[in-house]
Structure 1
Amino acid sequence: MDPALLELLRRVDTPSVCNAIEVAQGRRGFDAFTRGTMLCSAPGEPAVVGYAATARISALRPPTEDPATIRTRRMAYYRMMAEAPQPSVAVIEDVDFPDCVGAYWGEINTTVHKGFGMAGALTNGVMRDLGDLAPGFPVVAGSIGPSHGFVHVLENAVPVTIFGLRVAPGELVHADRHGAVVVPPEVIPRLAGAIARMQATEKLVLGPARAPGFDFAAFEAAWSAFEAART
């Protein structure tokens, strides 16, 4: 990814990316985003941006496979994360959802994945160790809980679903305290320009609304200009 685009995407929030995608596409209706309320471990840190490295986990019950098979898959998981093209994001579907009990993301796993150079994690599952998670590695999760349960990896490098959002391996993800989106690949070359256009359009309303003496007449004029310019 172009370093300038990456830095820009880390500075803007996920709703802005949603809007910019519609600007780039020239129409409304973009729907590759999460549904429902998610939790972010570090809402004050930059957005999580990167290509998805995916897996599916479970924690409600002990695994039924033999320990050697479980360990082999676990090591394959960590190798995949360590070797994922950067910038990368761990996107983990907990198949126990909505009854997730196993906190896969805690002090150890966030520190390990950050050490691999990953940008953060997106999951419909559980996080814990708040206050001790690796700094600079935000986790956007479905819930908070105290235990890891019987957490184990089921599948690596498969399409996953997080709060209604389908994410395939290698897709570009943008996530923050609002949730997450998958950026369509054809939009990526136009995304920086679309963000700039969207921000300029919003200023047509925000500028007058923040100015002294703002009233309905000023709003009506500003909104007319905004409607004419927006997607």
Structure 2
Amino acid sequence: MASSRPSTARKDTGPTQRGQCSKRVSILDAAANVFCREGFSGASIDEIAIEACVSRQTIYNHYREKETLFVAVIEDVMERANAALFSTLSTFPDKPDNLQRDLSEFAIRLTTNCICNQDGKFLRRLVQTEGERYPHLFEGWRQQGPCKISTTLGALFAKLSHRGALRIDDFDLAARQFLALVNADLQMIYLFGGKPTEDELKSAADNAVDTFLRAYGPRERENSAPPAPILVAVS
């Protein structure tokens, strides 16, 4: 799993701390790969140690036991996933030049940055395989990610509705439906571990936005001109 961890502005206090931080990053990335591939039960500390190029004891020094490491991996991935999510939400077209085009482009960014990336795949896989056994580990992600995205996206749709670009009564419902539509054409691809092509992403986004605007787009202005009179010939 390629690391997408953003750089930080921490001050280095010396080579020892830098070395420890580097080992933690290596361990977390290796553990994410192994947990994603093998699941929690099938993953072994020895396999993670080999992939991280550290000793088994080094992992235990940092994390004590496998479940502690698993929790640390989930928290690390959730932090990056949520950062990517809200970074993408900041690009929402609240003043669109072309509503259909701009919403479609936003839907593609949302799918590419938050669902099809490595962290999104990892979370889906772990929720599917370990969510029932360890629901408490994913509660923070559910509250901070999927639950918040609907609220945030609903507020963004509210702005468009107040400007007359959309007709929405229940903004949270509209947000959930938008997200469901964006994912509708891609579910089978995700289910079998595939990655959508650019054409598939664009088609899914276009279909989603077209359906969404049929439900929530502004009504076309009715023609207020009176009908033309019917001329009847009088013999």
Report the TM-score, using the length of structure 1 for normalisation.
0.24
Find the structure with the greater CA-based Rg: 2
Report the TM-score, using the length of structure 2 for normalisation.
0.24
Q: Please state which structure has a larger fraction of its residues in strand.
A: 1
Higher relative contact order (CA 8 A, sep 6+): 1
